[in-house]
Structure formats: C-alpha cells, structure tokens
Chains A and B, each alone.
Chain A
Amino acid sequence: MKIEGKRSIWKDYQKEIATDRFFYVRSCVRQNFFPGSEKTFLRIMKDVLHKDVFENAAHTTCSGIGYHSDVVPFETAMTMVARQFSIMTESGYENFTTSCITSFGLYSEILETWHHFPEVEERVRQHLLNATGRTFLKPANLSHASDVFFKFRREIAENSTYRLVNRHTGQPLQVVEHIGCHYSKMFPSKGVGGAEYPYVLAGMIEDWGGEVIDYPERRHCCGFGFRQYLVQANRGYSLACSKKKFDSMAPYKPDFILTNCPGCPMFLDRWQYALSEMEGITYGANGLGIPVLTYEELAGMLLGYDPWDIGLQVHQVPVEPLLDKIGIPYDSRRKFLTMDGQLMGQPEPPSHLKFYQHE
C-alpha cells in the first residue's frame, strides 16, 4: 500500500465546504437509531467550534428513503427538496448541511439534474409555487455534516481530551471507515476524496490519532440498501452483505468501525447481533463484537463528553472495551439510566455476543 498514491488522488477531489452559517437538516431515522449523534453534532458546533447552525421545525423528510425504495417518484422528490430549499431561503441561510447521507445524495442528484436540465428546475419551481406559493434560492454550498467535521477536524483535535491511541501499547487504533453509498458513489466530485478512496472519515481518523484499515470489501454496502431491509423476504440479502464486510475486515483486527450514514452504523451494529444469534458467528476480540460509531459520537468521546450522554448505551455491540482502550472513563452503573435517573430498560444478554464486563 502506497499512501502517496491515495494522497495524490485526494488532491483531485477537493471540495468547497462552507465555514459558518449552516442550515442544518436532520435525518428521518437517525434519532431513532442513534439518538445522541445529531445532538452531539449541534453541541460540538456550538460549544467547540462556535458556529451558527440553524434548524427550522418546518423541515420534513426529503423523501430520499421513499425515492430509493421505489415508492416516491423523482418528480415528487424534487418538489419536496425544493420546499426544503425554500425554507432555507426563508430562514436567511444559504449553506445547506444535511445530517443524512441519502439526503445529501438526493440533494446532489437534484442540483446536478437542474444544472444539466434547467427546464426541469423551472418546472419544479412552478410545481412548488402552485402547491405552496413558495419560491427558493438554490444553496450556495451543499455539504454533509461529516464534511463540516472534516473541515474542522483539526480544531476538534485541538480541543480533544483523548486521542485514538491504545493507552496500553501507545499504538494508534486501527479503524475501519465506512462511507454511506449515497455520499460519493453517485457523484465522486461531491465527496471529500472521491468515491474510490473517500477521505472524509479517513481524514478525521488520521488527525485524531488513529490509522485507517484498507480492506478488500471496503466499497461494499453495509447491507441496509433500503429494499433489502424493508422487504422482510430480502433481509437475508442485507445480512449477507454485512457478513461479507465483516469477513473481509476481520483479519485486520479493527478496534472499531466509523460511519457517516444513518443506516450503516445501525446495520453494522445490529447485524452483528443477528449473525451471532442465527449462526453463532461473532467478530472482534473475545467475541465482544466490533464497536460501530458515528463520527459525531467519536468526536464527542474524544472531546471528553460522558459516553452515556452521547448515546453509546444504545449500541448493540458494547463500546466499553474501546473506551477502556482509549482510557475514557465511564460509570457502568449509569449506562441504562435516563437523564432523570430512571432505568430505561436493559437488553437481554445475547446468546453468543458477549457483554462487556468491566474489570
């Protein structure tokens, strides 16, 4: 592996990312999957990076999930997106930042379509106007929230308490980065580092002290794939996709997996449970699984936020071994307590996947 080769490719995929005044749109599903992530993003943007990030309650789904599940036509999706732009315009912002990768992909696709077919844009404007009386300006800058953290990765590192280093050995942690398919596979130029060797998460890992693992199935889908999962009959295929990735990365002994998409951490995390229950297969050291994190959770961890405040307790694969490796303290007793000290419920112990017992 020649890292210089990758660097020369990264040079070709530089991306314009706004530096302030972000109009932030949330993901439909992330707040259920990993509820701490978006909150942590906003917290870091405000407290650490001191940026202006605006949210508008009128924001709805972009309909990307329906579009990619073949239930929402493109024409409809474009009008929905036009409405989000009009809300942004109305709010006085022009830097559009999405929490969701599929949204990001859909926005990119629509802006690219309008760029090549202005008559389509005109038609959509007319639809929106007829339906809602709204007009809009196109965003001056479109970024994914992970682009923003990539942009400010060094600032985050400077403010961090911890680094991605094994405190016992002093060695950098070995990290698998997994990029959502809709981030740059459709439009390599819209993603940091392109589609083949995306740099967006790799850059964070490098600057936060870890090392990136390049394994054969790095390009493969996490297994969510919308239709694969949404139709129960197809779920076996979803599971097979995840398994393919785990089998491929396992020989590299990753310390954890870092993701930037709503679905990926969900499926890479939960399918490890499903695989262990169905087939008795476990990955990671001592049958504990490979922890899967979102980039917001990781940033929060390194900045010294309480692991349970950023939602690490909702992970199926226990994160405690990773916290121990880095040296992040946590209170095991608080893991399943709500903010106001109530027990939030506790999962049944899995049959094969081991629960972490703190020494």
Chain B
Amino acid sequence: MNRQVAVIGAGITGMTAAGALSELGIDVILLEKEEHTGGHVKNWDRLFPSRRPAKEVLDFTGKSMATGVDIRCGSAVESIGHNKGIFTIRPVKGEPVNAMSVVLATGYDLFDARKKEEYGYGIYDNVITSAELETIFSEGKKLTTHQGTTPQRIGIIHCVGSRDEKVGNLYCSKVCCVTGVKQAIEIREMLPGCEVFSFYMDLRMYDRNFEELYFEAQQKWGVSFIRGRLSECAENPDHSLVLKTEDTLTGRPLKMTVDMMILLVGFVPSPETVRIARMLGLSSGPDGFLLPADEHFHDNTTTIPGLFLAGAVKGPACIVNSMADARATAMQVKSYLNGEMLK
C-alpha cells in the first residue's frame, strides 16, 4: 500500500496533522495502536483554562479528518525503516505501508504514580491520579472516597513525577499546574462543602488565562494553596490520609489529614515513542523525549529527511500547543513533498 504520508499516533496531535494534511490535498494514512482515535484527550472531561469539554475539540478535529484520511486503528507499528526516501511501516495487522514521509505523533504517557512510593498510590485506598479524577468527572459520577463517603477535605499534589531527581525526571511537565487548579475548581464546584488544599512547589501559570484561573480559584472558590512538596503520606485507621510537607512560607513542617489525595501526574515519553525512535535511530534528550533537528529553526524535522516530529514526542505540551505544532508540521510536510524543504 503506498501513501504520500503516514502519521503514526492518532492522539490530538496526529489527528490534527492528518486532518491538516488531507485538507492540503495530501494522501494520508493515520495509524493508531488502540481501537479508537483520540489518545489521552478522549479520557479528559474538560480542558483548561476555559473548561471547554474535551469532546468538542475531538469532534472538531475528527471532522477535519472526515474525508481523505485513511484511519487504521488497532495498527501498532511492528517495524519501521527507510530506504532512499521511502519509509516502510509494518503494522501488527494489515498490509505494510510505504510512504514518502512519516509524521511521528506517538506522544507521551502519564507518569506511573506507583514509582513515587511514599505517596502510596496503589496502596492507600484514597489516593487517585488526576487522570482518574477526569474519568470520574467525564462519567458524571459523584466524587466519593473509596469507602463511599463524601470527602470533606482533598489534597491536590503537584509535580508528581516531574521536577524530581528521585524518579529521574528533572523536567517540568508544564500542564499539571493549571490542570490542578482547574480540578480544584471543579471539585469545589461539585462539592461546595469540601475544602481543597493544593500542595505546590511553584505554580507555573505560563500561558494565557492560566494566572487568571489561579486567581479565580483563590478568589471565587477559596482553594487553599500551600507551598511545599509532599514528602510522605500515610493512611489512618479510617482510611483518611496524613500528609506531611513543609509549609515553606512559614518555614515549619505541616501535618494535615485529608480524605482524598489527587496526584497530578506528569509526562513521560510513551513506550511507543521510545521503541519507534530506537528503530529509526532517533536521538532523545536527557529527559527521554525526542530531539528535533534544531530547537529553533527545524523543530519539526529530524536528521532523517521525510521524518517529522509533532506534539508531545518532543516533550510535555498542552493541547493548544500540540495542535499548533501539528498544523506547522503539516505545512513542513507539504513543503518537503514539493521539494521545497528548507535546508
């Protein structure tokens, strides 16, 4: 099977790239290892900072692919290679694909919170991740403790798996801060009687309207922010949790009981990204994410002509940035196919 372009990974980046390419009149195939497109975004309820339903974004992107994109789900890449400008991809099912160009959009995985043992994820009943909280939100369920009671106090823990030498991740995952603030607001909205405490090191409200959301969380929703990384957590006989941190703004250790704890898990390179990069001999940074040819001038291309990187394969990125990056990649691919690629 011959195609002009193969996009690997049908998360929001891959979908946007494929849609943009087909709108440019390019023959494109989209390969996805799972049974559905949508990647991480389909597990999310609402998006920061506007709290637009994630479904809207997926529907919009899905429409852009409605005609002209050959979508193959359940087609994890078994092998990939290139020879004389032609890429050959063998999916686990279906016939091999030959393409002139490949867009790698295999994205990221969420940090496995079990690795942060002292937080007790997977051990204590009432420790959940931000992703699990989104699932609760998107299923429209009421947030309760594992024991079925309404939580009276919830702790939101920032930087789980990020900015932490102890788990080997020195980088910042960028989107967790604002996700935490958004989720704090949503908890307060759902359970007005429940106190919410956010434990943070810094609040990196880097993008438009993020700081305003933080302000709203403080002013309108009364979310309390305590500056201090959670050092350890333990379970009480009633299954509530004891948190220990330093309240760095008073310079004193602080102990607090919460009924539930939400871990804001960060980004790690997805195993697919690592595997495919290894097959192609792509280089990655110390953080494990892939390196583009140049951080400023060729940030979608690689050392292999015709192979492009888009979205979170290059490091933590929010949906807006991933989509913009995907569209930029599509333009670069078009230039490449036209033989106009900038040197």
Residues of A within 8 A of B121 (CB): 5
For residue A213, which residue of chain B has the nearest CB?
Answer: B237
A304: shortest Cβ distance to chain B, in Å? 34
Cross-interface CB contact of A216 among B114, B118, B234, cutoff 8 Å:
B234
Of A5, A214, A216, A251, which one neighbours B122 at CB under 8 angstroms? A5
Q: Could you tell me if A194 and B117 are in contact, using CB atoms closer than 8 angstroms?
A: yes
Q: How far is the CA of A219 from the CA of B125 in the complex (A)?
A: 19
For the complex, what is the distance from the CA of A9 to the CA of B112, rounded to whole Å? 12
- Majority SS at the chain B contact face: loop
A1 at the interface (CB under 8 A from B): yes
Tell me, yes or no, whether B235 is within 8 Å of chain A by CB: yes
A216 CB, min distance to chain B CBs, angstroms: 4
- Bound Cα distance from A1 to B234, whole angstroms: 10
The CA-CA distance from A194 to B235 in the complex, in Å, is 19
Contact A196 B118, beta carbon cutoff 8 Å = yes
Q: Are B123 and A252 in contact (CB under 8 A)?
A: no
| A252 touching B237, Cβ below 8 Å | yes
- Closest residue of B by beta carbon distance from A195: B117
Cα–Cα, bound, A164→B197 (Å): 42
CB < 8 Å neighbour of A6 from B118, B123, B234, B237 = B123
Judge whether B122 and A1 touch: CB under 8 Å: no
User: Interface size (B, Cβ < 8 Å)?
Assistant: 16
CB distance A9 to B235 under 8 Å? no
Check A8–B114 contact: CB distance below 8 A. Answer: yes
**Cα–Cα, bound, A276→B114 (Å):** 40
Contact A1/B237 with A8-B114, A194-B117 known, Cβ cut-off 8 Å = no
- Quick one: CB contact mask for B112-140 with A, threshold 8 Å, 1 for yes? 00100110111111000000000000000
A-B contact count (CB 8 A): 40
A33 close to B (CB within 8 Å): no
Contact A216 B242 (CB under 8 A): yes
Q: Which residues of A contact B235 (CB under 8 A)?
A: 1, 214, 216
The residue that B123 contacts in the complex, of A194, A197, A217, A219, with Cβ under 8 A, is A197
- Indicate whether B236 reaches chain A with its CB closer than 8 angstroms: yes
Hey, what's the 0/1 contact readout for A1-41 against B, CB within 8 Å counting as 1? 11011101100000000000000000000000000000000
Across-interface contacts of A2 in B (CB, < 8 A): 122-125
B232 close to chain A: CB less than 8 A: yes
Q: Are A219 and B232 in contact (CB under 8 A)?
A: yes
Give bound CA distance, A217 to B232, whole Å.
10
Interface SS, A side: helix
Asked if B237 and A9 make an inter-chain contact with CB atoms under 8 angstroms apart, the answer reads no
Whether the pair B234, A217 counts as a contact (CB closer than 8 A) is yes
Assembled-state Cα–Cα distance A124/B235 (Å): 45
Q: How far is the CA of A2 from the CA of B239 in the complex (A)?
A: 11
A252 to B235, CA, bound (A): 12
B114 and A5 contacting across the interface, CB-CB below 8 Å: yes
Interface residues of A in 182-207 (CB under 8 A from B): 194-197
**In the complex, A5 Cα to B236 Cα: how many Å?**
17
With both chains docked as a complex, state the minimum distance between the C-beta of B282 and any C-beta of chain A, in angstroms: 29
CB-CB under 8 A from A194, the residues of chain B are 117
Residues B123 and A1 in contact, CB atoms below 8 Å apart:
yes
Q: Which residues of A contact B120 (CB under 8 A)?
A: 5
Residues in B whose Cβ lies below 8 Å from that of A9: 114, 117, 123
CB nearest to A6 among chain B residues: B123
Most chain A C-beta atoms within 10 Å of own C-beta, residue among B117, B235, B237: B117
* Chain B contacts with A in 238-284, Cβ cutoff 8 A: 239, 242
Interface residues of A in 214-236 (CB under 8 A from B): 214-219
- Contacts of B239 on A, CB cut-off 8 Å? 1
Closest to A4 in B: B122
With A and B bound together, what is the CA distance between A194 and B232 in angstroms? Answer: 15
A4: B residues at CB distance < 8 A: 122
Contact with A along B291-322 (1 / 0, CB 8 A): 00000000000000000000000000000000
Residue from the list B114, B123, B234 in contact with A215, Cβ < 8 A: B234
* CB-based contact A218/B114 at 8 Å: no
Tell me how far the C-beta of B302 lies from the nearest C-beta in chain A, rounded to whole angstroms: 34
The smallest beta-carbon distance between B126 and chain A, in angstroms, is 10
Query: Which residues of B are found within 8 Å of A6, using beta-carbon distances?
Result: 123
- Complex CA distance for A215 and B118, rounded to whole angstroms: 13
Partner among A195, A197, A251 whose Cβ is within 8 Å of the Cβ of B237? A251
Nearest residue, chain A, Cβ from B120: A5
Distance in angstroms between the alpha carbons of A195 and B117 in the assembled complex: 9
In the bound complex, how far is the Cα of B242 from the Cα of A251, in angstroms?
14
Q: Is the CB of B117 within 8 A of A196?
A: yes
> Out of B122, B125, B234, B237, which one reaches A8, CB within 8 Å?
B122
With a 10 A CB-CB cut-off, give which of B234, B235, B239 has the most chain A CB atoms: B234
Query: Lowest 9 A-B CB distances belong to which pairs?
Result: A5-B122, A5-B123, A216-B234, A196-B117, A216-B242, A196-B118, A251-B237, A2-B123, A6-B123
Known: A6-B123, A9-B117, A195-B117. 15 other contacts (CB 8 A): A1-B123, A1-B124, A1-B125, A1-B239, A2-B123, A5-B120, A5-B121, A8-B114, A9-B123, A196-B117, A216-B235, A216-B236, A218-B234, A219-B232, A251-B237
Between-chain CB contacts (< 8 Å), 12 pairs: A1-B239, A2-B122, A2-B125, A5-B114, A5-B121, A8-B122, A195-B117, A196-B117, A196-B118, A216-B234, A217-B234, A252-B237
